[in-house]
Amino acid sequence: MKLYVKIVSVIAVLFCASTFANSAYIPITTDESKVEVLYFFSLKCSGCAGVRDYVRLWKQLNTRDESIVMRKIPVVLNGSKQWIKAVELYFVGKYLMKKYDLPESKMEVLMFQLALQNIDGEVFSLRESLEQSGMPINDNEWSTSLRFASSMSAHSLSIQNELNVSQTPMAIITGNAQRIIVRFDAHSQNAPLDFVTRLSREVAKVLN
């Protein structure tokens, strides 16, 4: 039985590798009992800022048992240079967050604030803000964070183009040979709550 399971696992990995050989988007897991949620957003998007806490809480509550995995993917709409800078800002912040063990919620609040204020050089404003709060960042780590951001930004935009993402915030749910799109309805009376409620409902359908 153990050998059979290993063979099946190898076949699944090989299938995934061949299927997504020329694809920017490669699923985190090939386990059909699991669901992956891709959450597309921008630090420049006020709707994304409004739904941020709802999405963070949803992730905390729904990814505990590992049957659901979630990836946050920053995107660019209409080729906006400011949105491109916001993608870089996000990945610089993500690198520093992991390197210095910074709380995700506080970092995201800071990054949204910097991006929505339309400050020139907002990536460097992030370093200034962190250092002013008593967290010195050495030049080598800063340079590494910029290289990481450059690489991840290109990959992130490739996924966006491949999956035809043209709206934020938005989620794509994959699993069980299904792909379901959940869009943000800005006209809803309680748009953030409505978004995560529909997200839960669609994820449940895929799991069942």
Can you tell me the mean pLDDT for 169-173?
97
Q: Which residues pair with 69 in a beta bridge?
A: 36
The H or E element that residue 74 is part of is strand 68-74
Higher pLDDT, 172 or 17: 172
SS3 183: strand
Q: What's the pLDDT score for residue 34?
A: 87
Characterize the bridge pairing of strands 170-175 and 178-183. Answer: antiparallel
Tell me: pLDDT of 17 over 50.
no
Can you tell me the mean pLDDT for 57-83?
92
Q: pLDDT band at 53, cuts 50/70/90? A: very high
Note whether 123 and 91 are within 8 A (CB): no
Q: pLDDT band at 107, cuts 50/70/90? A: very high
In 3D space, the residue among 86, 59, 51 whose CA is nearest the CA of residue 156 turns out to be: 86
Tell me: pLDDT of 30 over 70.
no
Tell me: pLDDT of 14 over 60.
no
CA–CA dist 45, 25 (Å, integer): 23
Q: pLDDT band at 4, cuts 50/70/90? A: very low
Q: Which residues pair with 153 in a beta bridge?
A: none
Tell me: pLDDT of 8 over 70.
no
Percent of the chain with pLDDT over 90: 74
SS3 35: strand
111-159 pLDDT tens trace = 999 999 877 788 999 999 999 989 899 999 999 999 999 999 999 999 9
Q: pLDDT band at 23, cuts 50/70/90? A: low
- In this structure, whether the domain defined by 33-207 belongs to CATH 1.10.599.10 is answered with no
* Domain residue limits, the chain: 1-30, 33-207
Note whether 34 and 66 are within 8 A (CB): yes
Instruction: Return the minimum-mean-pLDDT range out of 57-66, 91-100, 113-122.
Output: 113-122
Tell me: pLDDT of 12 over 50.
no
Q: Is the dihedral of CA 177, 71, 47, 195 positive or negative?
A: positive
181-191 pLDDT tens trace = 999 999 999 99
CA–CA dist 31, 9 (Å, integer): 9
CA–CA dist 143, 158 (Å, integer): 23
Q: What is the pTM of this model?
A: 0.84
SS3 168: coil
Q: What's the pLDDT score for residue 177?
A: 87
Tell me: pLDDT of 59 over 50.
yes
Q: What's the pLDDT score for residue 65?
A: 80
Only one residue has tokens 């966006």, namely 160
